[in-house]
Amino acid sequence: MWRRAMSFDDILLNIISRIDGERYKHAAFHLMKGKRSGQTLQDTEYYRLHPFFGMLPSLHANDFDLAYRRLLAAGLIAEKEDGTVFLSASGKTRAASQGPVRLNGWSYRGMERLFFARLALAVQTVSHLSAGDKSFMPVTADPVVQRDVKRLFSTVLKGKKPGDLAWEMRSSLEAAGMEDDRLSRFAARLTGKGMSGMTWYQLSEVTGISEMDLKVEWVETLHIWLDSLAKRPTPILAALAKGVKAESPLTGSAKKTAEMYRAGLGMDDIAKQRNLKMSTIEDHFVEIAINDPAFPIRDFAAPEDVKAVRDQAARLATRKLSVLKKAFPGLAYFQLRLILARMGKEEGADGYDDHGKPGKPAEKGHRI
């Protein structure tokens, strides 16, 4: 049986434990929102932060800052003179007591919201049509979601009754092994004939759980469920989940740069043809180095430099570019970033605690 979801504060503490003393608090904020900058993508790989990437695309800075200040006030974290954040002794104890992280943000990059939007509209539509009601206000105004669900009514949803969909959902969720209380809260967000889904505020009032913690649990539930569905697909739910999990580990722009590089173009030529800044192209190459096992690091840095940087990073137990740049003034920041990117990939971990391969970074999510 699964244990209760981590709180938002515990997730923030977990992230800080991984970047311990080497990044500012904003690194965690950008990570959870799924910012597709070179720095955030690098941090995701360097510090094994894949589970949290893009988990809350609509996270507000105020909500983040409130949680951050709670951790400070509780003495679980502290800041160095330069503003970087680290765990206190009590923070380390609390972080060490946490259970496994069951989020899978890097693979779903916020697109689990699309799955839920489709599911919510399908549940509502089946419920109303079965009651003979063809006129109702859909729970989502997104034309893409409406089109997707409408198509399914000519295939897997054709002639289905509420009990058919409920049975498939129940059996699938039970197979995922989640506890009843969690599933009750999840179901409370769904709308049917004569029953409106609860808002986050309403659900918080009823359960006594904060809205932020409810949102974290909801995302985690979707990730666990989608991971389970990938292993044990069912007809309706598999159709609703189509296209939700990333097929490529690269952002669209980085993928284009990779294709041009493989076609024989140099970085300068790629920047000119794409009318992009060299800093953007460098970000793309770091992203490619993170995700491509065959990335030719020797084309960018001498083998002896690669080894020296790796040895120094291990000796100092740091991946801070500013520290390594002082040790290797003859190497460009870009070269150091590439070497660190390959270190993260070649050290053997995928970046997950419990999950499979990383996927595409976060895209704009659906607000539910």
Structure confidence at residue 367 (pLDDT): 34
DSSP assignment string, 223-280: HHHHHHHHHS--HHHHHHTTT-S-S-SS-HHHHHHHHHHHTT--HHHHHHHHT--HHH
Domains within the chain, CATH numbers bracketed: 8-100 (1.10.10.10), 112-240 (no CATH), 252-346 (1.10.10)
Q: Whole-angstrom Cα distance, residue 278 to residue 53?
A: 25
Q: Which two tokens stand for residue 89?
A: 């002794």
Which range of 57-61, 294-298, 356-360 scores highest in mean pLDDT? It is: 57-61
pLDDT, tens digit, 9 for 90 and up, residues 216-247: 999 999 999 999 999 999 999 999 999 999 87
Structure confidence at residue 355 (pLDDT): 37
Decide if 246 contacts 108 (C-beta within 8 A): yes
Q: Which two tokens stand for residue 85?
A: 């954040």
Q: Whole-angstrom Cα distance, residue 174 to residue 344?
A: 36
Count CA within 13 A, CB hemisphere, residue 167. Answer: 6
Conformation bin of residue 202: beta by default, left when phi > 0, alpha when psi is -120 to 50: alpha
The amino acid occupying position 244 is V
Terminal CA-to-CA distance of the chain, rounded, Å?
Answer: 27
Output DSSP code: residue 338.
H
pLDDT, tens digit, 9 for 90 and up, residues 77-136: 999 999 999 999 999 999 999 988 999 999 998 999 999 999 999 999 999 999 999 889
Decide if 312 contacts 324 (C-beta within 8 A): yes
